[in-house]
Structure 1
Amino acid sequence: MKNLKTAYILLGGNLGDRMLMLDNAQKQIAKLAGEVVKVSGDYETAAWGVEDQPSFFNRVLAIQTDKEPMQLLETLQQIELDLGRERHVKWGARLIDIDILFYEDEVIDLPRLKVPHPFLHERRFTLVPLAEIAENYLHPVLKKSVSALLECCPDELEVQPLKSVQAAG
């Protein structure tokens, strides 16, 4: 039996059929990266960083994976490419963005991979859906729960829940 690790993954996008892109990304993650064990609701947020662009839809997944962190990153980046992701402008508009927020309680500081995600505690669009499925999860560097991080988050962008019916499965 393989040793499964828990990872929390943020999905986001603001181009095309945003909901379809989140759904397709989730399906590909389930197929290629690991079993999806928890799914947050979907949220809409004004663009962060570069603000002159469409609003984003976001969702957080908890997965059980047998992939090591760099393998997981490479798999997720390939899913982004397969779904049409193009990287032009930092924080620019995109069809899909997939970020590793946490990987177990590991702290990883590599040129291509930083875990926990270095900005997650500063972004409501990440913390709101994450708190929905992992409010008591302890940030391994800041030593605060996700819900405590959300309470003191400096980001003031409104994160609106989307009224959608999540299909089971």
Structure 2
Amino acid sequence: MSTRAFIGLGSNLDQPAEQLQSALQALDLMADTRLAAASAFYTSDSLLPGQPRYTNAVAAIDTTLAPLDLLDALQAIENDQGRVRKERWGPRTLDLDVLLFGDQVIDVPRLKVPHYHMHARPFVLYPLAELVPADFRLADGRVLQQLLQACPFVGLERL
């Protein structure tokens, strides 16, 4: 049985929109996984000053992979697209984050789901809202519409 998972995509190096397009194709080709939908692309300022703007999106996938196996597969896609892990918040060719994994709450050293900062990131919440019903609840009980109201559409530009 497959699980609906939501993946955050981000890039601010080496033609970010093309990086996201390639990542979406890779998600669709990933073993035991099917790309169900993708949001529009958005640009946003980096969380740290002095970095190029990011291009972000959210993808909905259906997968039979276990959560940590999915994380490993996502990191392999990042590596294939030239991701270099020098610093935690540094610029990157591609960042793929497991935002939600079905109705599971996951808290292990390598993976926190729902993603631990998504409630404060408009570049995650607004693309996610394109892919789910208006009354969507995260696995931890938070309501997406309430998170959107607390996280204004500031600094975002829909492409």
Which bin holds the TM-score, normalised by the shorter protein? over 0.9
Report the CA distance between 1:144 and its aligned residue.
Answer: 2.5
Report the CA distance between 1:107 and its aligned residue.
Answer: 0.5
Report the CA distance between 1:157 and its aligned residue.
Answer: 4.0
CA distance in structure 2 between the aligned counterparts of 1:62 and 1:137, rounded to whole angstroms:
14
Spell out, residue by residue over 1:70-112, the C-alpha distance to the aligned partner (whole angstroms, 9 max, x if none). Answer: 0000000011001100111222110000000000010111110
Query: Number of residues paired by the alignment?
Result: 157
Say whether residues 1:158 and 2:155 are aligned partners: yes
Tell me the amino acid that sits aligned with residue 113 of structure 1: L
The partner residue of 1:54 within 49, 52, 55 is 52
What is the root-mean-square deviation of aligned Cα atoms in Å? 1.3
CA distance in structure 2 between the aligned counterparts of 1:65 and 1:140, rounded to whole angstroms:
17
Spell out, residue by residue over 1:10-39, the C-alpha distance to the aligned partner (whole angstroms, 9 max, x if none). Answer: 110000111110011111111015111111
Unaligned runs of 5+ in 1: 163-169
Report the CA distance between 1:133 and its aligned residue.
Answer: 1.1
Say whether residues 1:149 and 2:151 are aligned partners: no
Q: Which residue of 2 aligns with 1:31?
A: 29
Report the CA distance between 1:156 and its aligned residue.
Answer: 6.9
Query: What is the percent sequence identity of the aligned residues?
Result: 37
Higher mean Cα deviation, 55-64 or 27-36? Answer: 27-36
Q: Which residue of 2 aligns with 1:115?
A: 113
CA distance in structure 1 between the aligned counterparts of 2:94 and 2:106, rounded to whole angstroms:
23
Unaligned runs of 5+ in 2: none
Q: Which residue of 2 aligns with 1:140?
A: 139
CA distance in structure 1 between the aligned counterparts of 2:65 and 2:106, rounded to whole angstroms:
15
CA distance in structure 1 between the aligned counterparts of 2:145 and 2:14, rounded to whole angstroms:
31
CA contact (8 A) 2:6 2:61 kept: yes
CA distance in structure 2 between the aligned counterparts of 1:76 and 1:87, rounded to whole angstroms:
14
The partner residue of 1:91 within 86, 89, 92 is 89
The partner residue of 2:19 within 14, 21, 42 is 21
CA distance in structure 2 between the aligned counterparts of 1:13 and 1:157, rounded to whole angstroms:
19
Moved >3 Å (runs of 4+) = none
CA distance in structure 1 between the aligned counterparts of 2:96 and 2:154, rounded to whole angstroms:
20
CA distance in structure 1 between the aligned counterparts of 2:87 and 2:154, rounded to whole angstroms:
21
CA contact (8 A) 1:128 1:159 kept: no
The two structures have a TM-score, normalised by structure 2, of 0.94
CA contact (8 A) 2:135 2:145 kept: yes
